[in-house]
Amino acid sequence: MTPDAPLLDLVIQSTGLSTEAVDAFRVALLAPRTRRHADAARFFDVPADAQTRRIAQALAAYWHCDATLVQPALRTADMRLLVLDMDSTAIAVEGIDELAALAGHGPAVAAITESAMRGEIADYAQSLRRRVALLAGTELALAEQVRDRGLPPTPGARELVTEARRIGWSTFLVSGGFSLFAQAVARELGFDESWANELGVRDGRLTGEVSGPADNDGAILDAAGKARILQRQCARLGCAPQRAIAVGDGANDLDMIALAGLSVAYRAKPQVRQRAACTLDHARLDGLLELFADRW
């Protein structure tokens, strides 16, 4: 390990983190000080050189846990707002895929959704219009059925939002999906506000058209739109985007992740994992709180 490398803290976590995993990291990293939570451990003053990073990555892969190097001085008070994507981040499903399955268009819509989230379709708005067009003529009651039966939150989502609000962060839900679902999820999980796209409806049926929210100037809420919402909320709160946390999983989250001071990829596609500061593949969503020094 390089003697003059900057010293950072390493946080490892997973559901059911084993003592053996913690011991393996402690021995390999020669960590001078360690603290343990139920599903996480923090190793203090770890040299942040290439060798240490390789060791941490290899051990994380072997023990099936997340490993993140963080600044020792990072505290919850440094942040002002938390912005979460909805589909496959705050909730465990893709709302449009759930609706399409009920409407008899499941495979076709799901294939486009997956391709868009991987970034294979460069124009998210176009991909959304293609999917919504397949739903033309679907009864609005089916969409309301998806909403009313409940969109399952991801493990730790409710706890994260509750704790974020207790800390004093503003909490925002942004979605490339639909306000019909986002408003219900925001109420259920306790977000301060939500933004999403609007399904066209006429005579109780979907028209196959979709539009964006007024806060995105009516444009479909895509990657640029999510970043615009984040930036505007920062301006409203009087803080820099550096004091925002952004969490997402797909290609249309990349712009807000690039803008935020702390970016988190949750069960994310490869290109999101590569660009985010923190990746949560094994921990719960509220595991992002373990990154802050004052939580220890």
Taking only the tens place, the pLDDT of each residue in 120-160 is: 887 899 999 999 999 999 999 999 999 999 899 999 999 99
User: Which is catalytic among the residues 66, 87, 222, 286?
Assistant: 87
- Is 78 among the residues known to form the active site? no
What was the pLDDT predicted at 149? 92
Domain assignments of the chain as residue spans, ordered by start? 7-72, 78-289
What was the pLDDT predicted at 4? 74
Taking only the tens place, the pLDDT of each residue in 4-30 is: 779 999 999 999 999 999 999 999 998
What was the pLDDT predicted at 273? 95
Question: Across the beta sheet with 66-70, what order do the strands follow?
Answer: 33-36, 40-47, 7-13, 66-70
What was the pLDDT predicted at 44? 96
User: Which is catalytic among the residues 9, 66, 85, 222?
Assistant: 85
What was the pLDDT predicted at 3? 63
**pLDDT mean values, one per 10 residues, the chain (296 residues):** 81 97 95 92 95 96 98 97 98 95 92 85 89 96 95 98 98 97 98 98 97 92 96 97 97 96 97 96 98 97
Distance separating alpha carbons of residues 61 and 51, to the nearest angstrom: 16
Instruction: Write down the architecture of domain 78-289 according to CATH.
Output: 3-Layer(aba) Sandwich (3.40)
- Is 215 among the residues known to form the active site? no
Question: pTM for this one?
Answer: 0.94
What was the pLDDT predicted at 235? 98
Instruction: Write down the architecture of domain 7-72 according to CATH.
Output: 2-Layer Sandwich (3.30)
